[in-house]
Amino acid sequence: MPEKIAETSKTQDELLTAAEPETALVVEAGPASAKARSLWSDAWHDLRRNPLFIVSSALILLLIVMAAVPSLFTSASPRDGDLVNHYLQQPNWSHFFAPDWFGYDIQGRSIYARVIHGARASITVGITVTILVTLIGGALGMIAGYFGGLLDTLLSRLTDIFFGIPFLLGAMVILTSFEKRAVWTVILALAFLGWTSIARVARGAVITVKQADYVVAARALGASTSRIMIKHIMPNALAPVIVVATIALGGYIGAEATLSFLGIGLSEPTVSWGIDVSDGFAQIRNAPYVLIIPSVMVSITVLSFLMFGDAVRNALDPKMR
């Protein structure tokens, strides 16, 4: 019996010895553990491979360059008209990027030049309003969501009051009180009413994040309120706010064009697509291109930002993957 036990132990030792090099070989050949990506790097990894993001980013970049440096696209003046030679002159599609490419309006002004220069007002209004409503709504939402209690109740009721005001109707009431309406007048009117959605989203995100373990640990270690909000809560609650802001940007551009079309938004001598659409509406039968071309530019711009916002939402929302 002892001999059999010794033989069995010897056999097991031989098997283990024979298996050790093979096991070591498998471990050595295994893949190295990859470093986990953060939410933002993972989102960028997805966005770079998203055709929707690439196309919308290219269009938005073109529009921004057009708004910043219109002289790169045309040297014609958007305000100078020639009623003798260019009154409602038809578009000349054979002259690409020329002043007569899109024809001339009822005042003899180049529609192509006005389309190029009109991008500045629309892009400026859209981007600036988005930045303002993100700062205002994000700050109010973070304060309400983090502190809670009576402060949360007061800020939530204030948000509900502003949220109950129709956006365009409220902007019309505000803008009609100004005799001359410049770009900054429209920006402040839209930002005054447009922060409510951002505030609600930020509040909900902060309420979710402040219950996380790392926030509780930071609070237990004696971190100050400002440090917790800036270092821990804001970076992790920022993703849904950015998604809502990028999608809303196109809506602000459309709102500016709508108000200018109604004669309540931007006014002359500002060059705006909404003003051109309003002027071309009277010529829809005689010269429909005066109305169609600036309308198409508004549609392309709004669609570009909506596509960009959808791509960002899909990348930042894990549920969409």
State the pLDDT confidence band at 16, using cuts at 50, 70 and 90.
Answer: very low
Mean pLDDT of 50-68: 93
Mean pLDDT of 107-128: 92
Q: pLDDT digits over 158-172, tens only?
A: 999 998 999 989 999
How deeply is 85 buried, as exposed, middle or buried, from its count of CB atoms within 10 A (0-12, 13-18, 19+)?
exposed
Percent share of the chain, pLDDT over 90: 42
* CB 45, CB 37: distance < 8 Å: yes
State the pLDDT confidence band at 177, using cuts at 50, 70 and 90.
Answer: confident
Mean pLDDT of 248-276: 89
Name, in order, each residue with C-beta under 8 angstroms of 252's C-beta and a sequence gap of 6 or more: 125, 126, 129, 130, 190, 194
Cα 141 from Cα 205, distance rounded (Å): 9
Question: Got the DSSP string for 165-196?
Answer: S-HHHHHHHHHTT-SS--HHHHHHHHHHHS-H
Q: pLDDT digits over 35-47, tens only?
A: 556 667 777 878 8
State the pLDDT confidence band at 298, using cuts at 50, 70 and 90.
Answer: very high
- Give me the domains of the chain, ranges plus CATH numbers: 39-69+122-320 (1.10.3720.10)
135-161 exposure pattern, b = at least 16 Cβ within 10 A, e = fewer = ebbbebbbbbbbeeeeebeebbeebee
Residue 36 pLDDT? 58
Mean pLDDT of 131-144: 94
Mean pLDDT of 10-39: 46
Least confident of 77-86, 108-117, 194-203: 77-86
